[in-house]
Structure 1
Amino acid sequence: MKRTSPAAQETEKSQKQPLMENDKIRSLFNGKIWDPKFQEDLKHEIATSQPYNWGTIRDLVDDDLLRNVRKEIETEIHFTNKETDIYKVNQSGDLANLSGLDWNDLSRLPSLCRLREILYSEVYRDVISHVSGAGPLSGSKMDMSINTYTKGCHLLTHDDVIGSRRVSFILYLPEPGKRWKDHYGGGLRLFPSIVANVPHSDHTAKLVPQFNQIAFFKVQPGFSFHDVEEVYVNKHRLSIQGWYHIPQEGEKGYTEGEEAEWVKTNTSTLAQLESNVLQDYEFPKNERSILPYHQIRHFDELLKAQPEFSDGTGITGTDLSLFSKADLEYLANFISPHHLTETGIQKLQSQFVTKSQLQIEDFLNDDKSESLKKLIKRDELEKECPYESVKVEAPWKTAMPPHKWRYLYIDGKSHENFQTEQDVLESLNSEENPNYKLLSKTLDSANYNTEAALIDVAIFLESTAFKKFLALITLLSPLSEQVLIRRFRPGKDFTLATQINKNHLLEHVKGFVEAVLEGTLCLTPSDGWESGEIGGYELYMDNQDDDEEENKDIKDAAVYQSDDTGDSVLINKPPSWNSFNLVLRDETVLQFVKYISWAAKSSRWDITAQWDVKTTEDEDENEIDNE
């Protein structure tokens, strides 16, 4: 997943290596690839393939050579497990990127060196260039890595657009002599695009890899989306991943300025997601509804009326008499009683003000907790969970695009099922505000008991009474809100690392906090999540980088950055039952929910909310546009 620095590339170019004769190179490949008819048939097959142009060749190279390569990798290379928001894979440490090696000091890897040489030889590159329609390919800018996918390993959706890449290839080396079966997982899955840069939620082509098989495709910005399916069994899916680049100066096919123009025009998957271009095609919308002004004033008055402690900590006392009887009764219908006493609220308030985060265990009272758990467990056991977007039925929807996130959600709006660009455009022309109360009335309670119960909690989180409680424990006044019910399916769902979306409509408000208050009520009924091995954890990490410019190329090459050392992790919360996690997050903090492994005993269920907030100021300085 890493890329060699320019300095390392120059060192590599300067190294003198004896080159094989073309006849020797040809002899180490399967003779069929030199057959003009085979090439033309393959070229036609690739040109007409779906969901985009890609191809595969079985028995690519000499069998003995590849078996020796596999033996060298097994005996001479140490693999280390590496995990980010987008992948979990075993990489070969310093050997992960073969272009960075000192090839004069690889006497223990002669077969691997030979394989690298023939894969980047001119005669073979010309074949790949011809059948893929990609144009001339560089033989000096080499880019290869060795990976082994073991049980639980995966790589999520991306399009391979980084730098000057022109063709992507994967040469598979699972155990020779044995067939890699579909139910092992680890397949290469290809995704069609609704429009450029917006892949469909479901793949439409899949390759089950076999020993000595290569898959390759022309890198097509915004269209060549693919992933590696999770490996489900205790077997090693070994592969060599590589790329062919645009020709460099002095090479055949070099065009001055071509690479610079390509890099300028085509952005990586990460850059696509960080831009505003795709916002129309992202669902659910990251849009927090601004609260009525009279509600915000009420929260201000509540906070100002609280008694203050005299110890200089900034912590207030709590006067529950400022809540109406109806407020307290409504809160008691949901929240555990020990959180609704003056002492309980002061304890929560102290923890949040000190750390800007808070974890409330046993948040819902026993009655709500037990009834919800019974319903969710029943759904897990008795109802078939839809794994294809076309099978998702109201009130659930599928989050998209899948190179940013994928999960089922309920947002209080009309049902949508996006299969075409027209579906998306029609939705944009009929924007509506969320209305969980209206949605609740439309559900058939006999078939949607669980959904109705979850919507009931979502309505509670949107209530004025709850936002009063929220204001007391955070000492912040809510200005806006968004509440989502989510279900993350095993072997399917995740969110990738993102920053907060600032609400520019509220920037003029006195006391406006340059951060978003996030709350997640986790309602996952199963156990076994604590080790992190099956994912599902909600992770917050520090994204500040003092050497941003120096590391820019490395970051981009890794596609997504997540913590794999533990140094930047701020919060790592595994799925649990009835735990409410509150975090005040600014732009320096990334957050994601890790891909849920197929080995998980259940889905991860939660209700998540976001609020823009402000500190309490004088009323006449808090004018807000109520439109």
Structure 2
Amino acid sequence: MKRKAPNTPVIQNAKQLALEEDKVKSLFNQKIWDPEFREQMKNDIANSQPYNWGTIIDLVDDELLRSVRKEIENEVHFTRKETDIYKINQSGDLANLSGLDWNDLSRLPNLYKLRQIMYSQQFRDFFAYITGSGKLSGKKTDMSMQHYTKGCHLLTHDDVIGSRRISFILYLPEPDRKWKSHYGGGLRLFPSIKENIPYSDPSAKLVPQFNQIAFFKVQPGFSFHDVEEVRVDKHRLSIQGWYHIPQEGEEGYVPGEEEAWISQNISTLAQLESKTLQDFEFPNAERDILPFHQVKHYENLLTTDESELESELVNALKLTEREIEFLAQYISPEYLTKEGLASLQSKFIENSFLEIESFLNDPKADLLKKLIKHVELEKECPMEAKNVEAPWKTATPSHKWRYLYIDGKPHEKFSTEEDMIENLTYEESANFKWLKETLIKDEKTRKENEAEIALVELAQFFKSTVFKKYIANLTLLCPLSEKIIIRRFRPGNDFTLATQCHLSEILKNVEGFVDAILEGTLCLTPTGGWESGEVGGYELYMADEGDVEREDTQLERDVEDATVYRTDDTGDSVLLQRPATWNSLVLVLRDQSVLEFVKYINMSAESSRWDLKLQWDIKSMDADESDEE
């Protein structure tokens, strides 16, 4: 809180705050009490797309709302908060106005008055009628303030928490200036392909203005929305709130209704962690199981007595000279020497992760940088899923992640998001060799896809038996499966949310199976300016502290902010954070207690974030050791 302004009126007691019905009505725009307006609103909301929502301009008495804005500017302190799902400025002890004591309220009389009329019987009845929501609680109030400045954003979610029935946002940007579309900060609404599967592209957008309210029925699995990034140095202030199911003693209370609602409707986070949605995720979580003879080869490698090998170099690396020559096509020479490999191996064994700078050799790295920069500078990047063309696809669903990817699988049956759902039973292993052949089928196609061809060739290299042998040397772990995808995260658009890794159900019975995956990220971002993390794009691994925390978000309780479920602060939970870089490989042994995400890429980033994501199910040569891990 800031210091009290000298002329702030003081509230003496609760009786002074009681507002009569006529006073409540007088503080709203009188049109909302007009039966004809109410009927029109009801009809518009019932027929709105992509779900039931609406907006009212000039909702509240102008003088009152200007006073509210002034009080917020003078009295409220906002703190920058950043998680995998948002970056916003939130009020601290004012996040929930119902928690304020009388001293706080005396400094915010107009804000408290606004809260009173917003949760008054008259306005709740109006909202319930036009939305068809059913009765709304006046006991349970849930209102907070958010201050969006340049770079702030809120990613896709459906607002399902506890007993909410209606979400609303009352906008308070500068009152005498129009907020323009290119400023960003718009409320975007997403249609759904099916329940819990939103499209990647929004179908409606509201550009906020002072004294305008936007609202929608909370429809589990359908009311998906986001707040696009604010792109300018302007202040987008808003008051957000929710109306809840009636509580005991209130009109419309139904015993057991709230409990049934909460048990049936899970939060966005719980949806993402539900195995029932894994079939609708692209790229999917399954990895290609390696042939038995390959696994046996790596197994023998890790158990062979070094005295049986022929040369000093092979003794050190358990790789033949021909294999080293093959690896040297891509890997920097320093990581193929006896000393280089031994150093990496010891670091991985000690820490269960590795950070390898300048992993690719100079000729390959220079070529890739040239080609990727050419794409960034000369080719228009599609920002909507409907415009993405082969060999790229859009990662879905958009409330879990959004980025472009190449997975080596056919594109024809997955050219639209509807196609993906319709072809769930269509299974094919990644085949980068086949994909490369389609990209070089003629001179025109080859010219248009030079960067993609080079990246596909790199993916082919990573899929080689020799490279997996190198990884086995590096980690002393035997790969059982693999998955390699090429990714591009576009500024102002792309991200992944924090989720657990997926373990193979098929391989769990393999002797020595480790309940973790070996995960690698080769970052190939050709520009600088990522180090501070301000533009996002960093990859973060963090401890999952919260079976208890995640359960709590689904219970009926007061929460500081309803969309918070992960925090990427610099506390003990952060295990590893890497900015977008050029030519660096990170290898992590990751079990299901470790969450990972790539932070939303800010509009001001100089380029996309490019990388290759590598995953292997693995086994240890010592079953007891694997149990320990």
Query: Shorter-chain-normalised TM-score: which range?
Result: over 0.9
Helix, strand or coil at the partner of 2:423:
helix
Residues 1:590 and 2:595 aligned together: yes
Matching residue of 1:363: 359
CA distance in 2, matches of 1:547, 1:205: 36
CA distance in 1, matches of 2:40, 2:129: 12
* TM-score normalised by structure 1 residue count: 0.92
Residue 595 of structure 1 deviates from its aligned partner by: 0.2
Matching residue of 2:383: 387
CA distance in 2, matches of 1:431, 1:79: 50
> Structure 1's 507 and 304: CA in aligned 2 closer, same or farther, altered over 3 A?
same
Residue 243 of structure 1 deviates from its aligned partner by: 0.2
Residue 550 of structure 1 deviates from its aligned partner by: 8.6
Contact 2:317–2:338, Cα closer than 8 Å, also in 1: no
1:574 maps to amino acid: P
2:336 maps to amino acid: L
1:436-482: CA deviation from partner (whole Å, max 9, x where unpaired) = 11111110321110000000110111111111110111111111100
Matching residue of 2:540: 539
Residue 104 of structure 1 deviates from its aligned partner by: 6.0
Residue 121 of structure 1 deviates from its aligned partner by: 0.3
The within-5 A match list for 1:552-563 is 553=555, 557-563=562-568
> Structure 1's 395 and 307: CA in aligned 2 closer, same or farther, altered over 3 A?
same
Instruction: Give the stretch that moved more between structures: 381-390 or 45-54.
Output: 45-54
Instruction: Give the stretch that moved more between structures: 75-84 or 98-107.
Output: 98-107
Contact 1:289–1:481, Cα closer than 8 Å, also in 2: yes
2:388 maps to amino acid: V
Contact 2:159–2:562, Cα closer than 8 Å, also in 1: no
Give 1:434's match in structure 2, choosing from 409, 421, 430.
Answer: 430
The within-5 A match list for 1:503-514 is 503-514=504-515
CA distance in 1, matches of 2:202, 2:568: 28
CA distance in 2, matches of 1:359, 1:44: 58
The within-5 A match list for 1:138-537 is 138-305=137-304, 307=306, 319=315, 322-415=318-411, 416-417=413-414, 419=416, 421=418, 423-443=419-439, 444-537=445-538
Instruction: Give the stretch that moved more between structures: 238-247 or 126-135.
Output: 126-135
> Structure 1's 18 and 112: CA in aligned 2 closer, same or farther, altered over 3 A?
closer
1:322-370: CA deviation from partner (whole Å, max 9, x where unpaired) = 4234322210000001110011000110111110000110100001000
Residue 424 of structure 1 deviates from its aligned partner by: 2.9
> Structure 1's 189 and 361: CA in aligned 2 closer, same or farther, altered over 3 A?
same
1:206-261: CA deviation from partner (whole Å, max 9, x where unpaired) = 00000000000111111110000000011110000000000111111111111111
CA distance in 2, matches of 1:16, 1:162: 33
1:495-519: CA deviation from partner (whole Å, max 9, x where unpaired) = 0000010112111222111111000
Contact 1:268–1:556, Cα closer than 8 Å, also in 2: no
1:140-181: CA deviation from partner (whole Å, max 9, x where unpaired) = 100000000000000000000110000000000001110001
CA distance in 2, matches of 1:20, 1:367: 75
When the two chains are superposed, the root-mean-square deviation of aligned CA atoms in Å is 2.1
Matching residue of 1:123: 122
> Structure 1's 546 and 38: CA in aligned 2 closer, same or farther, altered over 3 A?
closer
Matching residue of 1:93: 92
2:58 maps to amino acid: D
CA distance in 2, matches of 1:389, 1:547: 36
CA distance in 2, matches of 1:420, 1:456: 27
CA distance in 1, matches of 2:546, 2:272: 19
2:490 maps to amino acid: R
| Structure 2: stretches of 5+ with no match in the other structure | 1-13, 440-444
1:373-397: CA deviation from partner (whole Å, max 9, x where unpaired) = 0000000000000011111000100
Contact 1:522–1:577, Cα closer than 8 Å, also in 2: yes
Matching residue of 1:20: 19
Residue 548 of structure 1 deviates from its aligned partner by: 4.9
Contact 2:164–2:218, Cα closer than 8 Å, also in 1: yes
Contact 1:306–1:318, Cα closer than 8 Å, also in 2: no
Matching residue of 1:11: none
How many pairs are equivalent?
598
Contact 1:268–1:559, Cα closer than 8 Å, also in 2: no
Helix, strand or coil at the partner of 1:95:
coil
1:464 maps to amino acid: T
CA distance in 1, matches of 2:619, 2:89: 45
Residue 276 of structure 1 deviates from its aligned partner by: 1.5
CA distance in 1, matches of 2:551, 2:170: 32
1:583 maps to amino acid: V
> Structure 1's 556 and 304: CA in aligned 2 closer, same or farther, altered over 3 A?
farther
Residue 484 of structure 1 deviates from its aligned partner by: 0.4
CA distance in 2, matches of 1:16, 1:71: 24
1:473 maps to amino acid: L
Contact 2:17–2:113, Cα closer than 8 Å, also in 1: no
Contact 1:398–1:417, Cα closer than 8 Å, also in 2: no
CA distance in 1, matches of 2:116, 2:561: 27
Residues 1:576 and 2:574 aligned together: no
Helix, strand or coil at the partner of 1:507:
helix
CA distance in 2, matches of 1:402, 1:490: 15
CA distance in 2, matches of 1:547, 1:439: 45
1:542 maps to amino acid: A
CA distance in 1, matches of 2:186, 2:377: 28
Residue 301 of structure 1 deviates from its aligned partner by: 1.7
Instruction: Give the stretch that moved more between structures: 228-237 or 250-259.
Output: 250-259
> Structure 1's 70 and 356: CA in aligned 2 closer, same or farther, altered over 3 A?
same
Contact 1:200–1:419, Cα closer than 8 Å, also in 2: no
CA distance in 2, matches of 1:399, 1:549: 25
Helix, strand or coil at the partner of 2:106:
coil
Residue 199 of structure 1 deviates from its aligned partner by: 0.3
CA distance in 2, matches of 1:473, 1:425: 39
1:71 maps to amino acid: K
Contact 1:194–1:419, Cα closer than 8 Å, also in 2: no
Contact 1:498–1:590, Cα closer than 8 Å, also in 2: yes
1:385 maps to amino acid: C
1:150 maps to amino acid: T
Helix, strand or coil at the partner of 1:254:
coil
> Structure 1's 546 and 83: CA in aligned 2 closer, same or farther, altered over 3 A?
same
Residue 549 of structure 1 deviates from its aligned partner by: 8.4
Matching residue of 1:5: none
Contact 1:306–1:317, Cα closer than 8 Å, also in 2: no
Residue 307 of structure 1 deviates from its aligned partner by: 4.6
Contact 1:482–1:610, Cα closer than 8 Å, also in 2: yes
Helix, strand or coil at the partner of 1:567:
coil
Contact 2:461–2:467, Cα closer than 8 Å, also in 1: yes
